[in-house]
Every structure is written in C-alpha cells, then in structure tokens.
Structure 1
Amino acid sequence: MLIGAYESENRISVSVAALKPIGYTVYCRYFDKSGTEHEKPMKSFIYPLFVVFCDRKSSETYRIAITDGSSGEVLEQFQMLVTRWNEKQKRPLTHCSAPIFGKEPKWLHLVEMIEHYKLQGVSKFYFYVREIDPYDMLLLQHYSAKREEVELIDIPSIYFDAVSQQLLAIADCHLRNRLSANWTIYSDIDERMIMTDEKETILQFLQESLGEKYGAVMFAQRWIFKYEKLPAKFINYQQIMEEMPTRKWQLTTQPGVNCTDGKHCWGKMIINNQKVLQMLIHDVGEYEKGYIPFILEPDVGYIRHYRDVNLGKWWERNRGAMEKFEPFENTTYNSYLSSQLLSNVLQILHEVYNHF
C-alpha cells in the first residue's frame, strides 16, 4: 500500500506501507493520465525505511506504483497519484503529529495544541489517524474543511505496534514537507514546544538565530504531570478555562538532559526539510551533506509535555526515570500568550461544537 508520492526536480519519492526491510528490491512503475504504463520500470529499493526513491522520467507521469517485479498488470487502486509542489510557495513552518489512536478524549488536547503552534508560526498541520472518536474527528474535519489548516491521513491497519505506525507517519510527513515547507515540528498532541523569551516565537528563532550548518533543532522535555483525563465533551467556556492543560497543570520536572546517549532524554526535533534525509521519532536518522543538529539549551526553549500519569500506568513504569529530573516545581505557560490562546481555543470550540 502506498501512502503518497511526491515529485521533485529529479525524482519521485514514494512512502510505502510495507513490511519490507531496508535494501529490499522493488520496481518503480510509471503511468500516464490514461492509465497506460508509459516508461520502462526502474529498479530501486527501500531506503530509508518506508521510502522508495524513483527517478523522475517524464512530466507525463500521472500515477506511480511500487511492485516486487518489473512486469505484470498493476490495478489502478494500487497506483498513487503523483503530488507536485510549487517550490516557490514553501510554508515557513509546519507540524507533523504522531499517529492518533486510543479511546481517551482528545478534542481539548487537539484544539489547544493547534492554536498554540499557530501562535508560534505554524501554518499547516498533518495528522495521521488510526483510531479516533467521531467527536474528536469533528474538530479536525473543521480545521481541514473550513480553515484548510489540517490535512488528515489514514494509517493502514497493517501495523499494530505504535513504533512502526509512528515511523511510517514520520517518513510520509517528511516527504510531504520536503519541498513544501522550510521547517517542520515533530511532536505529540500533548507536547507544547515553547521559547522562554515569552515574546519570541519558534518561527522567529528558526529564522533569526540559526547558522546555515544546522539541519535540526533539539528541544528538551519538561514533563508536566497531568492527573485526570480530559473532559469527554465541550460544555461551556468556564469548563475550558478550568480544564485546558496549559491552565490547569503546573507540577513540572527539571529539563530532560544528560541521558546515557548524551543527546537527549526523549526530546523532540524541528527539522529543516531540505537538510534531512531520514527522520526518526526523537532524532534525525541521517542528514544531507554533513549538516548537524543544534541542541537547544532548556533556558532558551523546551517542551511542556502534559503527561497523563495514569494512562497506561505511565508513572508506575517511568517513576525511576522521572525522579532523575527532580526537584519538581510549579511552572506556568507563557503569560504573554495565555489569554490569546484561550480566546482562540474558545472561538474554535464555538464554531465546532456550539450546536451540540
């Protein structure tokens, strides 16, 4: 199964939902608008994981397929429409979310996350969905249809473990943004990257403070303990003022630094799409042309991670790791943006759920 195919000047990059190892041989098959295979099949292979690079052979190629052999009929449902980007209209900053699954309510996390990152300069969000409650989906569909700020992509059920789902989503999202955006944030829906200078946005930092040699920025985690589930439904404005994670939860670990690998403690990254070949969950897997990461000091910027301590027995499993980041202290969300964030969240919820 193909997730997407994205054309650049010299190649078509294809994201493939296939249980195949890196180096597995495949063939690129090229089809024109009439459905005719109009170019000779090209031998290629899986690399990086979930990705196949095919040469761009003709402007007439309308669909592409990836097959194990170089011959045989390819039904249209196994062909992928080739997406072409206008490289002159790149977005400055986008966001790729980890796949959504599980039955716990997510609508309040989703709206707060989207509106937080819009204030930071993000203009497009990509959500990969395996399982979602219809009530939560209403919110994302509103952003997609009414505001054109969200794109929704289904994660196929071929993968059942969360890590494979996430790596597939990351691979596809990187290809989607490689030519259409300069920078992309990779994070979960309960994480809020933020600068400590309350009047500086993430986009301003990326555009004004980084040298050419840097291909990504690593943000350290600060876990903020969340002891209750989010509400199941939107009731009224007072409820939101009391229940928004950025307003309700404050008990915070020290920054997650100095772990055994010397790089991060489950930190997350913002990458320059043209300077990265492969993105993983917490790190860049491979850079283009020798670019390197910028490890951001936590006193400049960090992640406010509103972690449900009861979900999946998280505290029970991670208590020892968290105690390494004591002393815990109460911290608050950016006071300069807090009122604007609340106002924007309430406006969206009014638009989506006011008729319920």
Structure 2
Amino acid sequence: MTCYRNGVKYLILLCFMGLAVLNTYSYWRDSRNRNTDGTSMQPDVIVEQRPSSTPFQCPFESWNQVHSDTVTNENLHLEWIQNNISRRDNILESQIRLLSSFVYPDHISITTNSQRSYGQKVYCRYYNCLREEISNSSYQSIFFPMNVIRCPRRIGVKYMSISFDSEEIPQEPIPLVYRVFEAPIHEVSVCVGPIYGSESKWLEIAEFIEHYNLIGVRYFYFTVFNMNEYSRKIIDEYLRTGEIELTVIQSEYKTIDWQFHLLQINECHQRSKHHSKWVINVDIDERLVILDDKIKSVGSLLSGYNNTVAEVGFAIRRIQKTEKLPEKYESDEQIISEMEFLKYNVSSPVTWGAYKTIYRPEKIAAMYYHWAYQRYPDTVAEYVTSEVALLRHYRSTEKNILGSGWLTDPNYKNFSVVPEETEFAEKLKENVLKKIKYVYDQRVLYCEEIAEIPYEEYKEFGHDIFNCTFRNETVAHLVNRKCLEFHVDRTTRRQVSIQSLRSLLMGRRMRDSTSFIEGNTKDLSVESSAVVIVPRTTVAPGDTNKVSVIPFRPLHFTAPPKNGPPGVSPPPAPGGQCGVAPDFTPCVSNEIASKSLLECCKRKNLPAGCQQLCRYDITQAEIRAAMDRGECGIFNVAPFLECASQGKDSSECCRHRGIVQKTGPQCEQFCRPTQGLSALGVQHIVCGNAVGDMLHCHHSGVRV
C-alpha cells in the first residue's frame, strides 16, 4: 500500500513538472513572436558592426623600415659651412622650390632651385604614401651644399617637403626617388650639363649619347631648362629605351641659362649617389676620347683605381665649332655633313686649364662646375695623361656668348687638324644616323592605308578628319606665275567649276608649260566643262584655324574629245571600226546603252540615288555629289561597274587611256569588275577621278 501511495505522488510530481515546462515554452514562443512580428511597436536597436572594408594602410616595404636620428657627416658639414666651403650665392630673390628627393641607405637628400640658402636652417617634413604628414617626424637640418638638404631616415616615408619653421605650412610634398641599393646598379654614367637656349640640340644629343655608348657608358642623367619641341623628340626616344633619366627644372623666370648651371651639378650629384659607381661630369658638347688602343671602355680605364680615389681628371682639347646646329632633319646626306665629330676637327693643343673629372658620388661632399669643391676625408684625386684619354670640347666660336673670345687665349693658339679615329668615327656615324632616322624620318599618312571599316564608321564627319593624303594627288598648277588661292571651309567640300574661273583667268589657257597632270600634258582649256573637286583642306602644322588657304589643284580628269563633252561618246563614224584601239569608239548609242545599264542597276537593287547615276554620260561631278550626299556609297561601286561593263573586260581600253597612271594600280580592277573586286576602302576613292574614262571604256564594249 505504501508503494502504491509513493507511485501516485511521483506521477503527480511529474505532471506538475510537465505543466511548468509547457508554460515556459509558451512564454518563450510568444515573446519571440512579439520581437519578430511586432517590431513597429519596439524602439530601434542599434548594433555596432565592423565596416565591410578597412581603411587603406600604407605598406611598409622592407627597405622603408629604417629610422635614424642624425645625418652622416653632419658635424663635418657644419664645420665646412662655418668656413664657407663651396659657398656661391646667386639669384638672391628667387623662390625656393623643391626639385627632387632621394632616399639612400642611411639618409635622405632633398634638392631645391635655391642658390641663396647656403647654411640656412630648414625643417625636413615627412609624408606617408597618402601624402599625409607623419606625426612628430620633422627634423631641423641645414642647406649644404648650395641647394641640398640632408635629412635622417623615417619609417614609411614616401614623400618629402621642407619648411623654415616647424609650425609653417610646408610646400607641396614631392616623391622619394629610390636609391637604397646594396651596390650601384650602373658602373659608369654621365651627368650631362643643362640643356637650354634657342639652338636645336636634337642632333647633338644623339651624337653625344651614341658616342658614350661606344665607350661603354649605358646611362645618362639629363637636365632640361628649356628645349624646343623638335629636340624633345630625341629625348623622349631615349627615355623610351630606358637609357636616360630626366630632370626638368621649373622656375618663375622666363629665361633659365648658364647662371643656373650649379643647380644641375648638385642635383645630378645627389641623383647619381648609390645609383652609379662613377659619374662623368661633362656638358653636351664634350666627348671623352680613349686614345690607348689597349683600353676598350671607360669602365676598364677606371677599374685600376682603388677605393680611396674620389675623382679622376682629364685634360681637354678644344675644337672650333664655327656654325650652328641644323634646325630639322632633311636627309641622310645633311645629317652626315652636320655631325660635329666629322665636320669640326680644327683643334687646340691639349690643356689642363679647364679640365673635367669623373667622380665617385658618395665620396664627394660638394661639386663645382668642373671638379669637386670638397671631397670627404681619406680620399684622393688622380689624373689621366692626355696620351691615354682626353676630352674633345666642341666649343662655339660665336661672339657675345658665355666664354666667347676664347680663341685669343694663349692656351689655345697653334691650332691643328686632329680628326676622330677612323674606325670609331665610322661606327658612330652609322649609329647616329640610324637613331636620327628612326625618330625624325617621318612621312605623311596615305589615305590608301586606312582600312575600310574605320573609314566607313567615321566618314560621316568628313574626309578631313583622317588627316591623310592620296598618293596620286596632282601637282599644283601655276597660273600667271603664282598659285591661284581660294578659301575652303574645313567642314564643307566645295566644287569649283573651271568655267567659273573664266573671269579670274582672263581667258588664258593653261598651257603645257604651266599645267600638267602626272604625265598627261594635254591642253586643258578654260572652256572645258570638266569639274575640279577639292578633296581635302590643307592645314599647316599646328594651325587650328577653321578656314585655310589652299592652291588651286585640279584632280585627275581627261581632256574631253574635240567632238563631244566628257563621258558622251558620238556614234561611230561612217566606215569606222567601233570598240577597238586606239579610240575605242562606242558601238551603241548613249541612249540605248544607258537604258540597258539602268535596267541592270534595278535588277541589282541599287539604291535610288545610285540608279540616277546609271547612264554612260554621267559626269564625275554628279557621281562625287551623290556620294557626298550619301545617296550612293563606295560599296555600290562594284555592282554599278558590273552593270556598266556587261561582263566584259575593258582593261585594254583603260591602258590606252592611262587610268593607272592617273589614279594608281588599285583602280585597274574597275576595268574588269566581273573578275572580282578586292575589299574597297579609302584607297579607292581616288578612282572616282577617272570614272569618265572607265565608263567610256565600258561603253565601248556594250553590245545590244
């Protein structure tokens, strides 16, 4: 009995526990429904979420994780500043603009265009890849030499700037140029003196680079103050091939000349540090010549010097340069005759009066025009005898320029002819000519080169947009010993009838002596009803005027037969033979032949604008006008001529009428259209100039 009562108690307890669980589940379910379905009744809940993309973080490359607090040799620089070593102030009111900045293994250098800041205190300002200044990174430094600031390294720096007060807003930062090399990547390079002045330098630049290439130099540092566009093309070519590095100095001054030369000297010194082992410091008119046959390159010449040698000096021989350089390329013969090393050989004796040096950039503290102002301690200078190597200086004899009057200097008396070594000169001539022709031997774009698809796509904007020239354009005619000129709107092709020029020409005929059409010297009278079409507007290079002036240039057309207007053939003379050489007189009248031609055009479903042209007496002017209006296109030419030829080959007639000579070989296929036509393009537009001859030939073959 006791066991029974205990069992009932357990059952009742289990029931209560089940009810409690059900109640709890119902409450949870209702609460969940209220939270999901009744959100309009609940306050907004803001949940912080991580952004989908994190802010950009500048990368810290391995080379860019160096921090230093001082600049190497800083105390030594201060000592030299106190003694005015290398001080040379100039242009005292110039702006101080940033030129370049370089990062080396142990410091950073910034160059400016200032020639008046020697010894002045300045703050280095550091920026990351986003051009944001790195906090608490500025460093007070000093100008030494003239336009150079040295700064310690900072981690993550990509741009640099300067200010003259720690609170001053700095100049716009400039990027660092990488120079953190374990060893120099070039054995010997050239710091080329600044390019400036009005004289064209394109030939001199090519000759300079190709000369040094032949003696083993593979890299050049150029600095441009100003240069004309034509000369800049050769610089761009050597930039393309990776042989040069270019610095362009911008200034507030309209003219930058020799007075700014030291800016280039110092900037190139910093640019070449840790980048080139040796640097040749010369101007564009100075060429190092190796005279010892056993020495094949400048690298082997310098290889014998130990690590204490900071610079090596070379004597000079001045060569009289009596003329200016050519303005532009004209021909191979002109280039060869103007190459300085071939043209000028009247030479002075060897002198050390203004010698130049090849130096080790890291071992030099400050440079002068020709040699080092100050070398670092424990270094020496060496000098090469003139029997081994020297500099040929092609010095202008022009008066009233820097250094003029040098011919009266006693150091440069007793001139003699000293040419360049023959084998070397021949190689140099070949290399210079090849480079010049690659850059400057240019030609016009011929319309025949333009593919059919782009021409058809863009021709609606007018033929002039293609800036091309047809190979078979006629020669300009002289009228009264000068060109008859008229204005042509750039967007409109005007058709000018020769007959409309009657009053201007005063009834004069264009004789064989003053008028010809590519070998056809037939008498073209003013009374002719042929039509002249101006195919394109002639615009001078660089001229963007909407209206231009072009000479009167009649296109190819055949002088009309004496017994009828162009395109209209008379019936055969009684007893004459039709359809054969030399006259190829039509055998069928124009009216009957044209009717047959129109029926064929309709069968081929030619557009209505083309069907109006389906007659044998059609004129060139009518065809061109229909094409210009878009009524009949170049793609309708093939079926039109197939109809006109009636399936016959009129090549013999076309040869007699000189169609190839007048228009080009690409037009000969229109004389035998049933044999198939090649893809048509702009090269075939000129064929329209001989359409009268072609129709005459096809008419002569018509048989009904």
TM-score calculated relative to the size of structure 1: 0.91
Q: Percent identity?
A: 27
Unpaired runs of 5+ residues, structure 2, are: 1-96, 444-704
Alpha-carbon contact 2:225-2:256 (below 8 Å) kept = no
Query: Which structure: greater helix fraction?
Result: 2
Pick which of 329-338 and 310-319 moved more.
310-319
8 Å CA contact retained: 1:91, 1:180: yes
Any idea what the Cα deviations from partners look like across 1:13-39, whole Å, max 9, x if unmatched? 111122433210000011112222214
Deviation at 1:273, TM superposition (A): 1.5
Residues 204-258 of structure 1 deviation map (CA, whole Å, 9 limit, x = unaligned) = 1012x3233211111111111111112211122222222211111111000113x
SS at match of 1:21: coil
Matched, 1:165 2:260: yes
CA contact (8 A) 1:191 1:303 kept: yes
Structure 1 residues 167 and 113, CA, compared in 2 at 3 Å: closer, same or farther? same
C-alpha contact 2:407 2:413 (8 A) present in aligned 1: no
Give 1:214's match in structure 2, choosing from 298, 309, 313: 309
Deviation, structure 1 residue 350: 1.4
Residue of structure 1 equivalent to 2:174: 80
Q: Does 1:65 align with 2:161?
A: yes
Partner AA of 2:246 in structure 1: L
The 5 A counterparts of 1:175-324 are 175-198=270-293, 200-207=296-303, 209-257=304-352, 265-310=353-398, 312=400, 317-321=405-409, 323-324=410-411
Secondary structure in 1 aligned to 2:230?
A: helix
- 1:151 paired residue number: 245
Seen in structure 2, the aligned counterparts of structure 1 residues 71 and 315 have a Cα distance that, compared at 3 Å, is closer
* TM-score for the superposition, normalised by structure 2: 0.47
Quickly say closer, same or farther: Cα 1:69–1:2, change in 2 above 3 A.
Answer: same
Distance 1:35 1:4 in 2: 16
Number of paired residues? 343
Match of 1:112 among 191, 199, 207: 207
In structure 2, the CA distance between the partners of 1:340 and 1:31, relative to structure 1 (3 Å rule), is same
Largest Rg, 1 or 2 = 2
Distance in 2 (CA, whole Å) between partners of 1:115 and 1:301 is 18
Corresponding residue for 1:334? 421
Does structure 1 conserve the Cα–Cα contact (< 8 Å) formed by 2:208 and 2:285? Answer: yes
The runs of 4+ residues in structure 1 deviating greater than 4 Å are: 158-161, 313-316
Provide the C-alpha distance between the structure 1 equivalents of 2:360 and 2:150, rounded to a whole number of angstroms: 20
Matched, 1:353 2:449: no
The alpha-carbon distance between structure 1 residues 312 and 133, as it changes in their structure 2 partners (threshold 3 A), is farther
Which structure has the highest strand share of the two? 1
Q: Is the 8 A contact 1:111 1:139 kept in 2?
A: yes
Please tell me the residue identity of whatever aligns with 1:200. K
Q: Which residue pairs with 2:143 in the alignment? A: 46
Aligned partner of 1:4: which letter? Answer: S
Residue by residue, what CA displacement relative to the aligned partner does 1:243-299 show, whole Å, maximum 9, x if unpaired?
Answer: 211111111000113xxxxxxx12211111122121110110111223121122212
> Could you tell me which amino acid in structure 1 is paired with residue 361 of structure 2?
N
Q: Give distance in 1, aligned partners of 2:390 and 2:209.
A: 17
Where relative contact order (Cα < 8 A, 6+ residues apart) is larger, the structure is: 1
- Are the counterparts in 2 of residues 155 and 165 from structure 1 also a CA contact under 8 Å? no
Q: Deviations over 1:43-89 (max 9, x none)?
A: 0010011100000022x0111111111123336xx211112223345
SS at match of 1:247: helix
SS at match of 1:266: strand
Q: Deviations over 1:94-120 (max 9, x none)?
A: 111111111112111111001001112
